[in-house]
Structure 1
Amino acid sequence: MTATAHRPPTAREDVVGALAELDPATAEARLAKPEVVEHTQRAHDHLFTDPGRLSPALRRALAARVAEQHGAPGLAQEHHRHDPVDLAVATADESVAALVRHADLLSLAPALVTPDDVAALTAAGLDADGIVLLSQVVAVTAYEARLVTGLRLLAGHDDDGATPAPAADLPARAKYAPDLAPGGLPVPRAYTRELLGWLPWVEPIPTQELTDEHRAAFAGKSDGAYFRLLARETGVLAARTQIDHAVFLTRVGLPRAERELAAAVTSKVNDCIFCASVHARKAAQLSKRPADVDRLLAADVPRGPGWAPADLSALSAGQDERWAAVIDLAAALAASPSRATAGHVARLRELGLEPVELVDLVASVAFFSWANRLMLTLGEPHLPADSPATTAPTTPSGETR
């Protein structure tokens, strides 16, 4: 794979920036991390042009539906202008209807997805590559929707009058919580900062079959099951790896402990115990505030229909003013659709956060809105093999770098 110099996209190539209608201060702050801008567009381009079992027109239709569900009508319209499949007609085909049902679940209630749901995709005609592609279509759209929504708030746009997000017909079920993970491994029942494992429901690329292009796509990360699985959609993974590094591992922007805090908050909202464990651990280490991080992990998030969080206020309870404001914005933006408001942004500005820090906070939440949807719906967490099974009740309610 030939390395190329970073080149921020032009305005025409920058879908997120165009839809966000950035003011000068936010536009300048966003370019403090040009790799995020560039590779967000690269992920978008790969997603809708790479070959695969799903036609680009069907991918566009599914992405438009997800964007609408996440309260990003401009992003939905961007897909509609490319003449996507009419899902109202296409779902007469049961295989397409099955894809739409799964996309709705992955989009709005990823913690409810089960191995049987993934197996049903095989029955609908998808192979492992196709399942990863479908998952990325939904997850990347959730990411882009939050970037657009968050950046529009930072730019001062009032979208309160936007068309309400359409409801989806989700199955009435509890969160997926098996007694044991595959292989008889114990499963975590409560949020923790301890190290967890993760087992895939879809076959990753075997290590011996990885090409140089596959390995380059997740360079700097482990060759464990998760990244070998995502390597089935190589172009999107390559872009995602660069975004991850730029958002979380560079020195520019929000203090890194608060980026990790935002990732943990997003994981609580989406009910991803695995991702929360990784990033709560990092937030505690970097901030040297383990008690505050544990308070976040222990917070109860009541759930309504479709497992949507009914009340997010407990997540910031007991925190100092800055962390409470960061948590409240992160939680509101992570919700589907977003509940973030200009008031959340004003509060953070009053506390002294600079534009580059606010852009970084939005990107941190957006990225884990992507990551959680993959972790929750392509596999499941487990406790280490030598760990006793957790007996505490499940809390109503990542990935490694």
Structure 2
Amino acid sequence: MSIPNNDLINELIELTPESNLAITRNERAAATDNTQAAFDIIFSVDSSRLTPEIKYHFASIVAEQTGSATLAYFYQQSLGQHPLNLTDPAFKAAEKYLQTLVNHPKQTDYQLLNALTHHGWIESDIILLAQLITFVTYQARLIEGLRLLQQHEPSHIHTPLITAGQWNNHPQTHQGKPSPTAFTQEQLGWEAWLNARDPQTLDADETQVMKKFGQLNSEYFLLLAHQSKILEIRTLIDRGVFYTAGGLPRWEREFAAAAASKVNGCIYCASVHARKASQYAKDRRTDVEKLLATPVGSALADGFDERLTAITDLATALSATPIQANHQQIVLLRKLGLSELELLDLIQSTAFFSWANRLMLSLGEPFQIEENKE
């Protein structure tokens, strides 16, 4: 399928260049352009395991289960009538990994990855598979969030408040380190379930990229460096979503990321972004702590001021699987004074953490740093 103006998102939501939303997306050019670049590289990089047909097949499943019929239809059309060997044990192991990661991200574990390696998947193909699945969950939420911004007539659909999801209750990691069992703003470590790359194996360009992002010694980044170009583009999207001037205050973007992490049960991501939210708005640390302390099954958008409640309501509804966000939430946020750029920032911050949470949860696990226990 041809993509006019080289922007799949704009095409799928039928966004014209002169529209306010298209102009607003251009204000966040780094996120917009690199989202397209991520699609281009993920679906073009060579892999003997993940042929283009299998990629489109998996992507259509992810989009449909995430709740974007528009995106699912695009991938189904891209697949066409190509026959697939759906009985291959390696394929079945990948599909089980996909189903868990999309619908129950906290339930992904070492055994799911071990099943992939048992059936011959190597690290570079597993990382490509993980990036494919998690990128499409981000892409679907971005599309559906933008579609809500386009709807002019208020919707009267109301959905129940989204609750905090399940999180870790195991006292030790796979490698025997102390495992956090409660959400915290303390710094945590993270260990991979696969072999990360040795920094000595990086070529000059890869090394430069890792140095630029300050991650040459990060086990997580070195693991994702099995697909180094995807890692680079994904990091540029992260910078384009969170490190931009104007729009939604930085602390509220970080708070939305922490709220998404509570839905998905990602203690590691929540610790990083709750800490950042508190750093950017020290007077709101109590709100951050309240979010983190929300027990499993309790509503997340509860007990804050009107603006933060509405922000949390949209962020958590967009993070749910399938997506539960509705236009009435946008109407309320506009009544509370949020601009189009602020709404875009909120949607992108939330959607990106569908991607971030699922990568962290499905490729390794956090551990407590001993000095934090003193």
Q: TM-score, normalised by structure 1?
A: 0.84
Matched, 1:116 2:108: no
* 2:366 alignment partner, SS class: strand
The counterpart of 1:214, out of the listed 203, 206, 218, is 206
Matched, 1:97 2:97: no
* 1:82 alignment partner, SS class: helix
1:173-322 map, 5 Å:
177-218=169-210, 219-223=212-216, 224-288=218-282, 289-302=284-297, 314-322=299-307
Shift of 1:35: 1.1
Matched, 1:19 2:12: yes
Greater helix content = 2
* Cα distance in 2 between the residues matched to 1:255 and 1:115: 37
Deviation string, structure 1 residues 9-58 (Cα, Å, up to 9, x no partner): x8441111211233712111111111111100110011111012311211
* 2:365 alignment partner, SS class: strand
The counterpart of 2:310, out of the listed 325, 330, 337, is 325
Deviation string, structure 1 residues 138-191 (Cα, Å, up to 9, x no partner): 00000000110000000117899xxxxxxxxxxxxx866433124432111100
Matched with 1:32 is 27
* Cα distance in 2 between the residues matched to 1:158 and 1:369: 28
Matched, 1:71 2:56: no
CA contact (8 A) 1:61 1:86 kept: no
Worse-matched range after superposition: 123-132 or 273-282: 123-132
In structure 1, the gaps of 5 or more residues are: 1-9, 161-173, 303-310, 390-401
* Cα distance in 2 between the residues matched to 1:323 and 1:118: 38
Question: Compared with structure 1, are the counterparts of its residues 85 and 222 closer, same or farther at alpha carbon in structure 2 (3 Å cutoff)?
Answer: farther
* Cα distance in 1 between the residues matched to 2:338 and 2:149: 12
The counterpart of 1:363, out of the listed 345, 348, 358, is 348
Question: Compared with structure 1, are the counterparts of its residues 22 and 15 closer, same or farther at alpha carbon in structure 2 (3 Å cutoff)?
Answer: same
Shift of 1:385: 2.7
* Cα distance in 1 between the residues matched to 2:134 and 2:209: 18
Matched with 2:159 is none
CA contact (8 A) 1:186 1:388 kept: no
Shift of 1:343: 0.6
Shift of 1:249: 1.1
Name the aligned partner's letter for residue 67 of structure 2: G
Deviation string, structure 1 residues 68-108 (Cα, Å, up to 9, x no partner): 00111111122122226768x53222221111111111111
Question: Compared with structure 1, are the counterparts of its residues 84 and 139 closer, same or farther at alpha carbon in structure 2 (3 Å cutoff)?
Answer: farther
Name the aligned partner's letter for residue 25 of structure 2: R
CA contact (8 A) 1:33 1:252 kept: no
Question: Compared with structure 1, are the counterparts of its residues 378 and 85 closer, same or farther at alpha carbon in structure 2 (3 Å cutoff)?
Answer: farther
Matched, 1:62 2:58: yes
Question: Compared with structure 1, are the counterparts of its residues 22 and 301 closer, same or farther at alpha carbon in structure 2 (3 Å cutoff)?
Answer: farther
The counterpart of 1:354, out of the listed 339, 342, 347, is 339
Deviation string, structure 1 residues 357-390 (Cα, Å, up to 9, x no partner): 101111001111100000000000000034449x
* Cα distance in 2 between the residues matched to 1:387 and 1:255: 29
* Cα distance in 2 between the residues matched to 1:30 and 1:334: 21
Matched, 1:383 2:368: yes
Name the aligned partner's letter for residue 316 of structure 2: A
The counterpart of 2:325, out of the listed 340, 344, 352, is 340
CA contact (8 A) 1:267 1:275 kept: yes
Q: TM-score, normalised by structure 2?
A: 0.90
Matched with 2:161 is none
Question: Compared with structure 1, are the counterparts of its residues 62 and 157 closer, same or farther at alpha carbon in structure 2 (3 Å cutoff)?
Answer: farther
CA contact (8 A) 1:32 1:252 kept: no
Question: Compared with structure 1, are the counterparts of its residues 275 and 84 closer, same or farther at alpha carbon in structure 2 (3 Å cutoff)?
Answer: farther
* Cα distance in 2 between the residues matched to 1:369 and 1:152: 18
* Cα distance in 2 between the residues matched to 1:175 and 1:296: 14
Sequence identity percentage: 40
Name the aligned partner's letter for residue 35 of structure 1: A
Matched with 2:137 is 142
* Cα distance in 2 between the residues matched to 1:261 and 1:76: 29
* 2:6 alignment partner, SS class: coil
* Cα distance in 1 between the residues matched to 2:353 and 2:242: 11
Name the aligned partner's letter for residue 315 of structure 1: L
* 1:31 alignment partner, SS class: helix
* Cα distance in 2 between the residues matched to 1:260 and 1:175: 20
How many residues end up aligned between the 2 structures?
357
Matched with 1:171 is none
Alignment RMSD? 2.2
CA contact (8 A) 1:61 1:85 kept: no
CA contact (8 A) 1:57 1:85 kept: no
